[in-house]
Amino acid sequence: MSPVSLRRWSWIHKWSSLVCTVFMLLLCLTGLPLIYHHEIGQLLGNEVEAPALPAAQADAVPVPADLDRVIAAGKARYPDKVMMYMSQEADEPALWFLTMGAHPNDEKFVSIAVDARTAQYVAEPPIEGGAVMAFLFHLHVDLFAGVPGKLFLGFMGLLLIVAVVSGVVLYAPFMRKLEFGDIRHGRTARLKWLDLHNLLGIVTLVWTLVVGATGVVNTLADVLLQYWQSTEIAAMVKPYEGQPAPKTLASMEQSVQHARAVQPGMAVAFIAFPGTPFASPHHYGIYMRGDQALTARLYKPVLVDAGTAQVTDQRTLPWYLTALLLSQPLHFGDYGGAGMQFLWALLDLATIVVLGSGLYLWFKRGRAAAAKPKAGAATKAAPQAALAREGEPR
């Protein structure tokens, strides 16, 4: 590498890293407990579990309760609220989670868990997994600043990608005289940390790039969903423009049966009720998912007329929402069991060491440069000297 390009890449690496490092450290530190949010929720008692059925029913294959009865269980608890959403997790078919509010876009919604087999009320889980997890979650996702906060973190993620790529470019000149994994102990602390920075940076390379890039995609979620609502959902409900909303809502059980009939082999992931952003004033938005590992991550929206329970339209998700949905597991590391979760945590810790050592290396060099103001003159004569202190590339 020519001295000039080495200096350019060093400049790119230094500034892209410096700007994003503090935020990346925050994301790594808050992300660590979020990897285990289910387990932590269980420990704190914030996770809802389906109650055991009486012995007589426990052995039989449970028959799902009528969905209208499930909704009635929520209405019995909150007679003045309307349904906003209901959803089911792929690994817990015994529970329905109802979201209810004073109106379809109520930000002070409540969440209610109802037994999907008996239609009995189970619990009211704390929103976002309780105060502590909600705090960590917002620090990680939007810095308590909503969509602008998300987009800001997305930009920091882009800088991380620049830092990783420039770091790989610099790996070659720094490692030319060394074998893979060499750590130069016993000389200076800075040299040892430089080698550790290079080692951990290069072994975690692909993981960091994937988690960084999928994190950036996740920050675009709101923007992508808004775009989809204003284009595709708007087109799907176009024929209903100007019609009054149905006065009484059609049976949910029938609506879901009709949706299942057009999408056999798929299960309901979530249902959006009329007036919410994922439906229309005239429709239920029934979002189906597949039953395979990959298809369970993807949704197929079926629009059902909320007055007649008949299917109006169905679409495949556009590519950008498919990309968004697939980028979620790749960011969370929640798709390969406990082993993957643990490795995710270790890789996160390794990234913290890379970030921390990078900061230390910059700090040390900054002090070394300040202590030797004449070094600048030497730099002009031999440009590589800028990086060549203490056995760095020559």
- Cα gap 227→223, rounded to integer Å: 6
Of residues 386, 358, 344, the one with CA closest to residue 36: 344
350 binds another protein per the rule CB under 8 A: yes
186 binds another protein per the rule CB under 8 A: yes
199 binds another protein per the rule CB under 8 A: yes
* Token pair 């495949």: residue: 316
Tokens standing for residue 10: 């060093």
CB of 378 to another protein, least distance (A): 28
CB of 321 to another protein, least distance (A): 16
**DSSP sequence for 6-56:** HHHHHHHHHHHHHHHHHHHHHHHHHHHHHHTHHHHHHHTT-S--PPPPPHH
Residue closer to another protein (CB basis): 295 or 308: 295
347 binds another protein per the rule CB under 8 A: yes
Element (H, E) at 330: helix 319-332
* Token pair 């030797």: residue: 372
15 binds another protein per the rule CB under 8 A: no
CA 292 vs. chain centroid, Å, equals: 21
Of residues 67, 23, 80, 118, the one with CA closest to residue 267: 67
123 binds another protein per the rule CB under 8 A: no
CB of 143 to another protein, least distance (A): 27
CB of 295 to another protein, least distance (A): 11
Selected binder of another protein within 180, 242, 244, 371 (CB under 8 A)? 180
Asked if 68 and 253 touch (Cβ cutoff 8 Å), the reply is yes
185 binds another protein per the rule CB under 8 A: yes
Number of residues that bind another protein (CB under 8 A): 38
CB of 337 to another protein, least distance (A): 5
CB of 339 to another protein, least distance (A): 4
Asked if 17 and 24 touch (Cβ cutoff 8 Å), the reply is no
Stretch that binds another protein, among 23-31, 116-124, 154-162, 170-178 (CB under 8 A): 170-178
Tell me the CA end-to-end span of the chain in Å, nearest whole number: 10
292 binds another protein per the rule CB under 8 A: yes
Residue closer to another protein (CB basis): 203 or 375: 203
CA 376 vs. chain centroid, Å, equals: 45
- The residues of the shown chain that bind another protein, judged by CB under 8 A, are 171-172, 175-176, 179-183, 185-186, 196, 199-200, 202-207, 210, 292-294, 297, 326, 329-330, 335-337, 339-340, 343-344, 346-347, 350
